[in-house]
Amino acid sequence: MRKKTFIPVLILIFIIEAVLCGIFLFRLENIEQDPATVNGCLKSVETNYGNPDLYDTSLDYVVLDESGTVVFRTREGLSENRSDAIRRNDTILELELGGEKGHIIFRNSMSDKIRIIKIELSAVVLGCSVLQFALVLGYYLYLRKNVIEPFNRLGDFAVRVAEGNLDLPLDMDRKHIFGGFTEAFDLMRNELKKSRAAERKAVEDKKEMVAKLSHDIKTPVASIKSSSEFGYELSKEPKIKDLFNQIDIKADQLTLLTDNLFNSSVADVTEISVSPIPLDSSEIPSMIKGADHLNKTGDFSVPECRVFADKMRLQQVFDNIIMNSYKYADTKINVKSYMKDEYLVISIADEGPGVTDEELPLMKQKYKRGSNSKDKDGAGLGLYLTDTFVKGMDGKLFLENSEPGLAVLMYLRLI
């Protein structure tokens, strides 16, 4: 039974029940003894006393003589004395019986009529209640079959899809209210399955491309390295030898990064690994000088100590910081280092325009660049990766505007 049928039928039953209850209540209010009939019976007894065949017996009554003896009764089971009559709420009247005073006790039929009406009213209410219950139960079963169970199946299906199970189809049944939804949900499952397959293929293709590129890069890097080594041997001037040596060092670094990229793509690594170990601070100056191929850092010293660092990632950190200084400032670079608490602090500061105070907290975020970078190439990943590497070495990275320029303060933990 659909909603458009169920609700009118339910309302109709309520109306019928209310009307019947009203009728029975009206009947209850109008139950009373008929005075005319009572008087007629009384007169017939007084007039025809001694001749019971002429008595009016339209009502139930008992006739008592002056001594209280029953001289006539219409039927058995009626009150035969005043006490019983009072207890039963019967009507007691006096009458003349051949010159004597007697009494007539009329059976009060109101209680019987009320009891009968109550029984009838109870039967009507019970019948309507049973009908209403059957109607509600039927509608519940209809809802359960056509709404609740299909909805539960949709919920289970959604859970399976959320868990990644896209192979099991959803049973479609157009007979219930969710019939159209089930078809749409199953179409969604098919589309998600196709999308997942395409996504997996794209990821595999990208991994394969990265692996091929990283492998192919090794060939020109090897040529660069061999050429730099050959040039180093042929050169006579120390400055030229130093430049070839820097080329050789960068070629080795590029080889390491290429191997890292290749291994990450093959092993399905989603994050760049940082593997810090104890490192002597005496290696840091050569790393900074290795990143500063334009020799803008000048002379500086680093206190003797041991820090917790990943040598390859630390070299990338210095490369990123100094390359940013080249790109955005192109000035002298001031390098300072000192001990502070449990850290070795290395400050690398240029003398360029810096960035605004509003932009400064955002510079370490991914893809964030300062307003002075509009005409400069870059993706906004340098300082983000630098911050990631330093944190991976249990260190800290801070940016602050100096007078003038931008200073990068790197905190490396002492061991």
In the chain, % of residues over pLDDT 70: 82
CB atoms within 10 A of CB 287: 20
Please, which pLDDT band fits residue 87 given cuts at 50, 70 and 90?
Answer: confident
Classify residue 65 by its DSSP letter: -
Two structure tokens written together for 37: 């009939």
Q: Do 407 and 362 form a contact (C-beta atoms < 8 A)?
A: no
Q: In what order do the strands lie in the sheet with 406-413?
A: 334-340, 343-349, 406-413, 396-401
Helix (H) or strand (E) holding 277: strand 277-280
Alpha-carbon span 207 to 213, nearest angstrom: 10
How far is 104 from 377, CA to CA, in rounded Å? Answer: 124
- Identify the pLDDT of residue 118: 78
How high is the pLDDT of residue 269?
A: 47
Helix axis angle for 284-291 and 238-267, nearest 10°, is 90
- In DSSP notation, 322-333 reads HHHHHHHT-S--
The pLDDT of 364-392, averaged and rounded, is 82
In this predicted model, which residue has the larger pLDDT, 74 or 172?
Answer: 74
- Give start and end residues of each alpha helix (H) in 235-302: 238-267, 284-291
Highest mean pLDDT among 247-251, 336-340, 358-362: 336-340
What is the predicted pLDDT for the residue at 153?
72
pLDDT at 263: 56
Give the pLDDT mean for 80-84: 87
Q: What is the pLDDT of residues 213-244, one digit of tens each?
A: 665 675 677 667 777 877 877 788 888 888 88
- Is the pLDDT confidence value at 173 over 80? no
Q: What is the mean pLDDT of residues 86-100?
A: 84
Q: Say if CB 404 and CB 343 are below 8 A apart.
A: no
Strands 100-106 and 91-97: antiparallel
pLDDT tops 60 at residue 30 = no
**What pLDDT, on a 0 to 100 scale, did the predictor assign at position 175?**
58
Statement: residue 356 has pLDDT above 80: yes
The strand pairing partners of 181, in sequence order, are none
- In this structure, of 13-17, 89-93, 169-173, the range with the lowest mean pLDDT score is 169-173
For the stretch 264-291, pLDDT in tens is 555 554 567 899 999 999 999 999 998 8
> Which domains are delineated in the chain?
181-266 (1.10.287), 275-413 (3.30.565.10)
Which percentage of the chain shows pLDDT scores above 90? Answer: 22
pLDDT of 148: 77
The structure tokens listed for 367 are 């893809």
